[in-house]
Structure 1
Amino acid sequence: MSLPDHGRYDYVPITRRPEVTWPEGKRLAVYIGLNLEHFAFAEGLGAELAPGGPQPDILNYAWRDYGNRVGAWRMLDLLDRLSFPATVLANSAMYGYTPELMAAVRARGDEVAGHGRTNSDRQSTMSEAQERAMIEEATRTIHAAEGVAPTGWLSPWIAESKVTPDLLAEAGYRYTLNWCMDDQPVWMRTRSGPLLSVPYPQEVNDIPAIVARKDSASDFADMIVDNFDEMLDQSQGQSLVMGIALHPYIVGQPFRLRHLARALTHVAGHRDEVWLTRAGDIAEHWARAVPPGAKDGAPR
Structure 2
Amino acid sequence: MREGEKDPGLYDFRPYRERPKLNWPDGKQVAVWVSPNIEFYELDPPANPHRKSWTKPHPDVVGYSHRDYGNRVGHWRMAEVMTKHGFLGSVSLSVAMCQHLPQVVEDANTRGWEFFSHGIYNTRYSYGMDEAQERALIEDSIRTVRDATGQTIKGWLAPALTHTPRTLDLIAEYGLSYTCDLYHDDQPGEVHVKQGRLISMPYSLEVNDHYGFFVYNMSPREYADTLIRQYQRLADEGGTVMCIPLHAYLIGQPHRIGPFEEVLKHIAADGRAWITRSGDIADHYMREVTA
**TM-score with structure 1 length normalisation?**
0.91
Match of 1:242 in 2: 242
Structure 2 contact 156–178 (Cα < 8 Å) conserved:
yes
Match of 1:13 in 2: 15
Structure 2 contact 53–124 (Cα < 8 Å) conserved:
no
Q: How does 1:1-300 map to 2 (within 5 A)?
A: 1-2=1-2, 3-44=5-46, 52-235=55-238, 239-270=239-270, 272-292=271-291
| Code of the aligned partner of 1:284 | D
SS of the residue aligned with 1:24? helix
**Counterpart-to-counterpart distance in 2, 1:207 and 1:60:** 14
SS of the residue aligned with 2:245? strand
| Code of the aligned partner of 2:287 | R
**How far is 1:126 from its partner?**
1.5
- For residues 234-253 of structure 1, the C-alpha deviation after alignment (integer angstroms, 9 at most, x for no partner) is 21xxx000000000011111
- For residues 262-284 of structure 1, the C-alpha deviation after alignment (integer angstroms, 9 at most, x for no partner) is 222111212x3210000110111
**Counterpart-to-counterpart distance in 2, 1:157 and 1:7:** 23
**How far is 1:47 from its partner?**
7.6
**Counterpart-to-counterpart distance in 1, 2:66 and 2:118:** 20
**Counterpart-to-counterpart distance in 2, 1:128 and 1:7:** 21
Structure 1 contact 47–60 (Cα < 8 Å) conserved:
no
| Code of the aligned partner of 1:104 | D
| Code of the aligned partner of 1:286 | Y
SS of the residue aligned with 2:190? strand
- For residues 191-227 of structure 1, the C-alpha deviation after alignment (integer angstroms, 9 at most, x for no partner) is 1133110100111101112112221111111110111
**How far is 1:19 from its partner?**
4.0
**Identity of paired residues, percent?**
38
**How far is 1:46 from its partner?**
8.1
- For residues 79-106 of structure 1, the C-alpha deviation after alignment (integer angstroms, 9 at most, x for no partner) is 1111111101111101111111111111
Structure 2 contact 39–94 (Cα < 8 Å) conserved:
yes
**Counterpart-to-counterpart distance in 2, 1:279 and 1:192:** 22
**Counterpart-to-counterpart distance in 1, 2:126 and 2:58:** 22
| Code of the aligned partner of 2:262 | R
CA 1:109–1:46 in 2, change beyond 3 Å: closer, same or farther?
Answer: farther
SS of the residue aligned with 1:125? coil
**Counterpart-to-counterpart distance in 1, 2:53 and 2:222:** 21
| Code of the aligned partner of 1:267 | I
**Counterpart-to-counterpart distance in 2, 1:145 and 1:54:** 34
SS of the residue aligned with 1:15? helix
SS of the residue aligned with 2:153? coil
- For residues 110-167 of structure 1, the C-alpha deviation after alignment (integer angstroms, 9 at most, x for no partner) is 1111111110111133122211111111111001122231011111222221110011
**Counterpart-to-counterpart distance in 1, 2:21 and 2:110:** 35
**Counterpart-to-counterpart distance in 2, 1:175 and 1:189:** 12
**Counterpart-to-counterpart distance in 1, 2:170 and 2:123:** 20
Structure 1 contact 46–61 (Cα < 8 Å) conserved:
no
Structure 1 contact 39–46 (Cα < 8 Å) conserved:
no
**Counterpart-to-counterpart distance in 2, 1:218 and 1:166:** 40
**Counterpart-to-counterpart distance in 2, 1:130 and 1:86:** 29
| Code of the aligned partner of 1:258 | G
Point out where structure 2 has 5 or more consecutive residues left out of the alignment.
Answer: none
CA 1:47–1:75 in 2, change beyond 3 Å: closer, same or farther?
Answer: farther
Q: How many residues align?
A: 285
